[in-house]
Structure 1
């Protein structure tokens, strides 16, 4: 790949000693498809490239935060009607909580991994999502008391409150969207620590948004893979 890398990625790649194409292919496959690190090790060996599964993991941890940051700069705007929910993620043998929301068209609004499922975690999620995507007009949640309390606390500080709807049926769209993330994490057999989980999930969410067409691109014929690689520049 002969292209001018963005400075943050150039700094990361300077410390890594495999061909750029190989590293990006492994990282993209890891977050795009339900593959384990050992699957990737075997797949690359079939192509005549010897790379240890732990090396692929190290590449992912180094590259994905920079790629996610680059994606956020060219993410399409989302709608003003959000469906918010949290799903369970196993980390070091314990359940943690991935807060997520989609708009009514199914586009991902934002995501946040938290250790606890409570009002503070929900409020932190809403503050971050609003800071990144602007204020919604309506947020639909399930019967979670902590999510309701967080929204009510935010509304108490706003001149124009966000409309809150508690309707499990209307939240099916975000619950269905969780499945795409869980399919990718299942072969990983759980995460070993919170930091790794946060980074890998960020990569999975980024690739999921690209595949849903949420990336601004002047080349409308670009494939999801090409859009992923375009984050390099």
Structure 2
């Protein structure tokens, strides 16, 4: 359909569209309402940009929705604190529990930022956050990496918001419920993008 109009859709075209329209679409997408009973799964993954290591810190809730992501050059307590503070500002409240891997920076950051919140640190408990990195890694390979930190930060903010819309929560659901979720998501996407008939 786009090729008939003379538009060649390459990864560079998608990158440009994301840069031009992504922020506006992300603002219009309905966000999940925060809950005081939420469980946040926190994790970090290394991403190489221009031969230098950067860390993508990510927070996911108990349903698998990405709450926030931030790209940083460090993997220490200061970086973990920055993620937690940003999350609390964005969500408006603190969670019931935080689940992380064995990185000690999370414990130190939690003690400083939200000491009353329960913290569980175990490699096996944090699979929800670990699995949330998989779609990003697939996109990274397809796009042959990212050019800059700003490019990555813009991309993940748009990519996660759109993915949160279309992917149903991680609960045991019937095929019918999943289908209804996707139909509603597509209807909302058409309203957000202005393509509704």
Calculate the TM-score normalised by the size of structure 1: 0.68
Root-mean-square deviation (CA, aligned residues, Å) is 2.5
What corresponds to 1:211 in structure 2? 166
Conserved in 2, the CA contact under 8 Å of 1:78 and 1:107? no
| Corresponding residue to 1:131 among 89, 94, 107 | 89
Q: What displacement does 1:171 show?
A: 0.5
Change (3 A) 1:128 1:106: same
Change (3 A) 1:225 1:87: farther
Aligned pairs, how many? 180
User: 1:52-104 deviations in whole A, cap 9, x for unaligned?
Assistant: 75454322212112222222xx2112551111111222222222111112222
Change (3 A) 1:197 1:118: same
What corresponds to 1:77 in structure 2? 33
Structure 1 outlier segments of 4+, above 6 Å = none
Gaps of 5+ in 1: 1-21, 23-43
Change (3 A) 1:180 1:59: closer
Calculate the TM-score normalised by the size of structure 2: 0.79
User: 1:102-143 deviations in whole A, cap 9, x for unaligned?
Assistant: 222323222222222221211111111122222101101111
* Equivalent-residue separation in structure 2 for 1:105 and 1:56 (angstroms): 28
1:67 aligns with 2:34: no
What corresponds to 1:231 in structure 2? 192
User: 1:158-194 deviations in whole A, cap 9, x for unaligned?
Assistant: xxx1111111111012111211221122111111111
* Equivalent-residue separation in structure 1 for 2:99 and 2:43 (angstroms): 9
